[in-house]
């Protein structure tokens, strides 16, 4: 699970860095929390545009990040922040008990 969480966090942070065009001084934040039996990772930025998974062709070098998130996460989503500035993109992974 750790490797998957690291990969998906990397994808969300990269998307925020590449696509969230915001004024200087605004930051990108990541938060990880254990909620019941799931790890929830949230990336927050100051841009209001919600992400939409793309359909990358075989020749394209990018455009698959959200498809990876949708495929590997147990759940994911994006919403505008309650404070009115920016958005949160998150994913959850189930914590599996060790045998």
CATH of the domain at 20: 3.30.565.10
Question: Given the DSSP bridges, would you call strands 29-35 and 87-94 parallel, antiparallel or unpaired?
Answer: unpaired
Q: Say how many domains are in the chain.
A: 1
pLDDT in the model for residue 96 = 80
Asked if residue 44 is part of any domain, the answer here is yes
Name the phi and psi angles at 78, rounded to 5.
-150, 140
Asked if residue 8 is part of any domain, the answer here is yes
- Nearest-angstrom CA–CA distance, 51 and 48: 9
Asked if residue 36 is part of any domain, the answer here is yes
Q: Which of residues 77 and 51 earns the better pLDDT score?
A: 77
pLDDT in the model for residue 52 = 78
Asked if residue 99 is part of any domain, the answer here is no
- Nearest-angstrom CA–CA distance, 16 and 21: 9
Domain housing 24 = 2-94
Question: Per-residue pLDDT tens for 22-75?
Answer: 777 778 899 999 988 999 999 999 888 888 777 766 676 665 678 889 989 999
Asked if residue 68 is part of any domain, the answer here is yes
Sign of the C-alpha dihedral, residues 69, 63, 3, 50? negative
Asked if residue 56 is part of any domain, the answer here is yes
């Amino acid at each position: 699970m750790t490797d998957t969480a690291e990969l998906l966090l990397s994808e969300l942070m990269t998307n925020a860095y590449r696509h969230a065009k915001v004024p200087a001084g605004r930051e990108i934040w990541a938060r990880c929390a254990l909620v019941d039996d799931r790890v929830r990772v949230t990336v927050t930025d100051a841009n209001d545009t919600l992400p939409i998974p793309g359909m990358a062709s075989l020749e394209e070098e990018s455009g698959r990040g959200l498809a990876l998130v949708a495929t590997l996460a147990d759940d994911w989503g994006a919403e505008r922040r309650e404070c009115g500035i920016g958005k949160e993109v998150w994913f959850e992974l189930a914590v599996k008990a060790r045998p």
